[in-house]
Amino acid sequence: MTTCLAEIIRHWAVAAPDQPAVTVPGTGPGGDLTRTFRELDAAASRVGQGLAAAGVRPGDLVAHLGRNSMAYCEFLYGASKVRATVASLNWRLSSGELAAILAEARPRLVVADAEFAPTLATALTAAGLSPQVLVVPPGGGPAPDGYASYPAWRDAQRTVDPGLVPEPDDIALVFFTSGTTGTPKGVMLGVRGIREQLAHPPAWRSVRPGVATLVVSPVFHVGGTVQIYVNGHHGGHVVLLPDPKPGAVLAAIERHRVEIAMLVPVMIHQLLDDPALPGTDLSSLRTIAYGASPIAPALLARALRALDCGFVQAYGMTETTAPIAHLDQADHDPDDPRGRLASAGRPLDHVELRIADPDTGRPLPPGEVGEVWVRTAQTMVGYLNRPDGESALTPDNWLRTGDCGRLDADGYLYLTDRLNDMIISGGENIFPAEVENVLTAHPSIREAAVLGIPDDRWGQSVKAVVVPRPGARVEPAEVIAFCRDRLAHYKCPRRVEIRGDLPRNPAGKVLRRALR
């Protein structure tokens, strides 16, 4: 039906013009802000006209720095109407972290929430860039002094569709993740891959016109943005939450009669502990789709018993555009003696998945642990501005995920670890080297190692093991505060252990497994 982002909004503006397309709770003049498909299509056309007038051409990259909002949805679809590439940037980053990403992306234009405008300005200066910046003011008020207003800019444009249709080889989206060294990498997702993704139903299969789906993941994560356009592709009503607090989630489900909720495991944990849960009407809720980080089987079993709805797990990553495997509703049995709740499920029909020896690429038989490799037409094009040698893609288009796992005899995937020791906390990817670089900049720390430790709430949390400099005294609370001044808070250690040395192999590499 629809094959790219621009065609999604164009189609439904004709097929169901008066149906709600997106609601952003608590951001409208009277409370919630809702756009029908006709209204969202018109706003996207104005955005496209504004981008074209600003000199944005097919293939140019434009960026967004902000929370989940209606402005982002307009920008996402509007950029597609002029064949531009959208990069959604992580507003939780420090100005230094953001500067490195901006230097890589070099956007022609940036739309930013007013609260992040000072950080953006500092980052752009550090990166030596001066793109046009449009600011989204809170509550629809005026933009801060010195900034152009995004709403005023949008509303000054003609409501005429620019008429361009993205081509298969276009890059539609760029999401920034980090490599094992902590340097940012822009994952390029192409129109061809999005077309492949949209050709197959989502794992939860119940999206259809008029069905309300709650989207909580931030739009700078692939999951947040993909959930917007996948639900749009099926004519669904996206309830896009800017505030992921559990009270706001429960209120949105009840108020908007949400049938599908897309949640990360930490949010499930928070909902179960929220005192408002027993008094909330969740009768509309049919499916909770979860993913993005490990989930403890005990937590999942608790959720299955407490919430009267189905559960579906989706396993994927930024580089695969969308999920590549899922644990279906029928497999969510807390009393299953096979332990399927610990599985990431089975690969989707259009996905090839194998467990490979990470050194040789040789396929491994069921039961043996190796690296998870996948091959599908929805895989990324590559990394922005990176030579082929840095790509995770093999010459025959297998994606090396960096995840370790095994397959059982029935084809169920069980993940065990990360080859590169990445930590996933509350759905956020954290790379030890980046945190270690900050720790070793502390004047009293000689060396440090960072690892993920199990956390019932967050899946994993960051622990730092540090070795003081001779004669120096190190206090754990002060080390945590030092990191918080230099890193996004989710990357900072929650625990610090002081040791006299770190275990190393003969080549001098720290043995993280020994620390664990």
Q: pLDDT: is 92 or 297 the higher one?
A: 92
Tokens of 294: 């490990």
Task: Name the CATH topology of 28-190.
Answer: Rossmann fold (3.40.50)
Tokens of 490: 């989710």
Residue 189, judged by CB atoms within 10 A of its CB (0-12, 13-18, 19+), counts as: buried
**Does the structure show a pLDDT above 80 at 345?**
yes
Tokens of 413: 């995937």
Confidence bin at 507 (pLDDT 50/70/90)? very low
Confidence bin at 505 (pLDDT 50/70/90)? low
DSSP character string of 276-298: TGGGS--TT--EEEEESS---HH
Residues for the chain: how many in total? 516
Tokens of 283: 């009768």
Name the DSSP class of 504: B
Confidence bin at 182 (pLDDT 50/70/90)? low
| Boundaries of every domain in the chain | 28-190, 423-515
Confidence bin at 276 (pLDDT 50/70/90)? very high
**Per-chain mean pLDDT for the chain:** 90
Q: CA dist 40 to 235, 244, 253, Å?
A: 13, 23, 22
Dist CA 349 CA 457 (whole Å) = 32
Q: What is the pLDDT of residue 1?
A: 55
The CATH code of the domain at 423-515 is 3.30.300.30
Residues of the chain above pLDDT 90, percent = 67
What's at 91, amino acid-wise? W
| 80-118: pLDDT as tens digits | 999 999 999 999 898 998 999 999 999 999 999 999 999
**Does the structure show a pLDDT above 60 at 366?**
yes
**Does the structure show a pLDDT above 90 at 68?**
yes
| 435-491: pLDDT as tens digits | 888 898 898 998 888 999 888 888 899 999 999 988 999 999 999 999 999 999 999
Dist CA 516 CA 501 (whole Å) = 15
Confidence bin at 300 (pLDDT 50/70/90)? confident
Q: CA dist 136 to 75, 110, 159, 261, 484, Å?
A: 12, 11, 20, 27, 27
Instruction: Average the pLDDT over 181-198 and give the result.
Output: 87
Q: What is the pLDDT of residue 509?
A: 62
In the sheet with 459-468, reading across from the earlier edge strand, the strands are 445-455, 459-468, 495-498
Q: pLDDT: is 256 or 425 the higher one?
A: 256
Dist CA 45 CA 350 (whole Å) = 34
**Does the structure show a pLDDT above 80 at 295?**
no
Confidence bin at 179 (pLDDT 50/70/90)? very low
Confidence bin at 363 (pLDDT 50/70/90)? very high
Q: What is the pLDDT of residue 339?
A: 80
SS3 letters for 94-153?
CHHHHHHHHHHHCCCEEEEEHHHHHHHHHHHHHHCCCCEEEEECHHHCCCCCCCEEHHHH
State phi, psi for 402 to the nearest 5 degrees.
80, -5
H or E element, residue 229? helix 222-233
Q: pLDDT: is 340 or 352 the higher one?
A: 352
**Does the structure show a pLDDT above 80 at 383?**
yes
**Can you tell me whether residue 301 is helix, strand or coil?**
helix
Q: What is the pLDDT of residue 180?
A: 38
Query: Beta 325-327 vs 346-347: how paired, if at all?
Result: antiparallel
H or E element, residue 176? strand 171-178
User: Chain centroid to CA 376: how far?
Assistant: 20
Q: What is the pLDDT of residue 400?
A: 94
Q: What is the pLDDT of residue 506?
A: 41
Confidence bin at 389 (pLDDT 50/70/90)? low
**Does the structure show a pLDDT above 60 at 203?**
yes
Name the DSSP class of 221: S
| 207-219: pLDDT as tens digits | 888 899 999 999 9
Q: What is the pLDDT of residue 36?
A: 98
Dist CA 327 CA 411 (whole Å) = 11
| 7-36: pLDDT as tens digits | 999 999 999 999 999 999 988 777 899 999
